[in-house]
A and B are shown apart, each in its own frame.
Chain A
Amino acid sequence: MAEAAGTFGVVLTEMGHTLMYAETQEVSLDAPTHSTENSHYLMINRLEIKNFRCYKDLTLSLKRFNILVGKSGSGKTALMEAMFMLGGSSPEIYFRIRQWRGFSKTINLTGTREQYQSLFRDLFYNFEQETGAVLQSSDSESGSRRLEILYADSKEYRLDLKNPEPHAFTLSPINFKWIVDGRVHNTSISFIEGKFTISGAAPVAPLAYYNPFNFSAVENANAFSSLSRRFRSTSLVKAIATIFPAVKDLTLELIGGEPVLCVETELDQKLPIGALSGGVNKFVTIALAILSNPYGTVIIDEIESGFYYADMPFVWTALVDLCMKEHVQLVVSTHSAEFLKAAAPILAREDISKESQLLRSELDDNGRHTIRRIPSRSLEAATSMDFEIR
């Protein structure tokens, strides 16, 4: 399979080797140029979600800097997953999300329709899988992207006569239909002869999604190498030094046969970055995502984890400055009042206050999951007075 450009291509290969019962049979080789790594993708302005996870019907305007808060189970991760899936290229993206949600890497099925459909049921609002789910976005360059997830209305049915278990069932493939700027890319997951088969691919969007479970040293090494080859790693080192002055330089070294990102400090040997500090490692990961996705979107779930509370203002300043320089849109979730308090005055800066907002997942008057938008000035006022706004 040809690798799709951007972060997804790298992870897909890793997942394909180690985790999946899937085979990809077809790919789209003519991805539109504006969805490649170096394209002019710009910012997601508007997101629409129908019948996906806890959201029956949600329309949301996004800005360049978006901080997402809300109670556990209120829909924060579902929102970020919607954006991630929308930017994906293949249904395998769903299995990645599943794994991050705590499901096993391996899937064992007996082949009944119920078991097959149970894999996907929680994708749909109120488990209404007959209705299907729709995710849609438009961006600041008038581009659009749409993902429809629905079981195929199949006229042919496969019966596995070799299966000793008695059954009378039909299995319809589940389709993931991406429509990117009017061009349709059909992909599907079907279960044929005891194997998952993923077919089709759509152009991937320059979008990276990180949560506490998917930070990868290998991915960091690859991303740094890509930047370094293009002489773009200097800004990363400078950004790190503003927060962690002990770091003088970053290089890739071979340790145990593996390329590992290492830091130069006052010590007489370079250290693998993960050995120096979890906070540095995390900051580097996020910064690499920003630098690797210019004119794209970076989504971070629980951004505060791993950072020392007193470093948060500097972390946030460095990330905002990087995003402004690389024209990257940032969507982060947090549970931390300290992080909010650190971020608020920075987001209320005159040069970016109109490009920033707080998003809070909550229930509306009808008990439905929704997202409330709060301007950055209100966020700053609220945090300065220690109001509880999470």
Chain B
Amino acid sequence: MVLGEGDRDQAFINALCCDRQINDLAVGFVGGNSNFGQYLEGISALPKFSQCKSILLVSDNDESAQEAFDTIREQLQEIDFPLPSKPLEMAKKRDYPSLAVMMLPYPTPNPDSRGALETMLIPAMKDSHPTQAACLETMLACAGVSNWSKKSSQDKAFVRCLISSVWENDPMHGLAFCFAPQKNLIPVSHTCFDEVAQILKSFVAWSDSAEKSWSSWHDKNEKIET
């Protein structure tokens, strides 16, 4: 099971899984990064929950990767669920599904780890619509958006503007609906998503293994397919 913060995360992961033919994951969203704990507690009461063997939580770094991850850890601790000590570490506990957390953007652009899902989408959107992207960068700089303190806000503004400038049928088209391949708004086949796709594709196998960290599992088992 993969749980994101919102419906946009769910739509992105579903689209990526469909594109890369990853079929063994159920994808949902919890309604905000402060709802992971309550959501997990709630689904643990569902009749089929025992069939869920592993859970991947997907959340945004926003302005502080550490703070964002700690927010999730606190919630997991509160509900007594398996507790990873860092992102992409598999935590296991008896009578619970294995659990790992992936923070976005992934992979983290150095040195700035700030951002959100939208941060990851921008390279693919720029490659897909380079003309509009170039204009928008100028426009947003002119409008002062590039001076905003919050990186995730800057990136969200860029994504919103690009969608509006490309999708004439509905400039207000919600991000969750922009991943359909025929729309060519956000091509999930882009290589910038390869590493996330690799994690999703290997998640079940990784969770079944004894390897705690993704990097050690990955080093032992796979090369990134490009």
Partner-B contacts on A (CB < 8 A): 358, 360, 362, 372, 374, 377-379, 381-382, 384-385, 387-389
Contacts and interface: CB of A to CB of B under 8 A. Distances in A.
B45 interface: yes
Contact of A389 (B38, B45, B79): B45
30 contacts: A358-B45, A360-B47, A362-B47, A372-B47, A374-B44, A374-B45, A377-B41, A378-B41, A378-B42, A378-B45, A379-B45, A381-B38, A381-B39, A381-B42, A382-B41, A382-B42, A382-B43, A382-B46, A384-B38, A384-B42, A385-B38, A385-B39, A385-B42, A387-B42, A387-B45, A387-B46, A388-B46, A389-B45, A389-B46, A389-B47
Interface of B: 38-39, 41-47, 79
Nearest to A390: B47
A279 to B, nearest CB: 28
Say whether chain A's binding surface is mostly helix, strand, loop, or mixed. mixed
A374 B44 CA distance: 8
A387 B39 CA distance: 10
A243 B46 CA distance: 32
A358 B46 CA distance: 11
Nearest to B79: A377
Contacts of A360: 47
B109 to A, nearest CB: 34
Contacts of B79: 377
A389 B42 CA distance: 9
Contacts of B45: 358, 374, 378-379, 381-382, 387, 389
Which one of B38, B43, B45, B46 has the highest number of Cβ atoms from chain A below 10 Å of its Cβ? B45
Contacts of B46: 382, 387-389
A388 B46 CA distance: 7
A372 B44 CA distance: 11
A163 B223 CA distance: 87
Which are the 6 A-B pairs with shortest beta-carbon distances?
A381-B42, A381-B41, A382-B42, A382-B45, A378-B45, A374-B45
Nearest to A377: B41
A362 B45 CA distance: 13
Contacts of B43: 382, 387
Contacts of A362: 47
B44 to A, nearest CB: 5
A82 to B, nearest CB: 22
A269 B41 CA distance: 52
A92 to B, nearest CB: 37
Contacts of B39: 381, 385
Given A381-B42, A382-B43, A385-B42, 4 more contacts: A379-B45, A382-B42, A385-B38, A387-B46
Contacts of B44: 374, 378
Contacts of A388: 46
B17 to A, nearest CB: 23
A366 to B, nearest CB: 13
B102 to A, nearest CB: 23
Contacts of A377: 41, 79
Nearest to B51: A365
A335 B41 CA distance: 22
B42 to A, nearest CB: 4
A265 to B, nearest CB: 41
A377 B40 CA distance: 11
A182 B208 CA distance: 48
Contacts of A384: 38, 42
A25 to B, nearest CB: 48
A384 B31 CA distance: 13
A348 B46 CA distance: 17
A331 to B, nearest CB: 18
Contacts of A372: 47
Contacts of A382: 41-43, 45-46
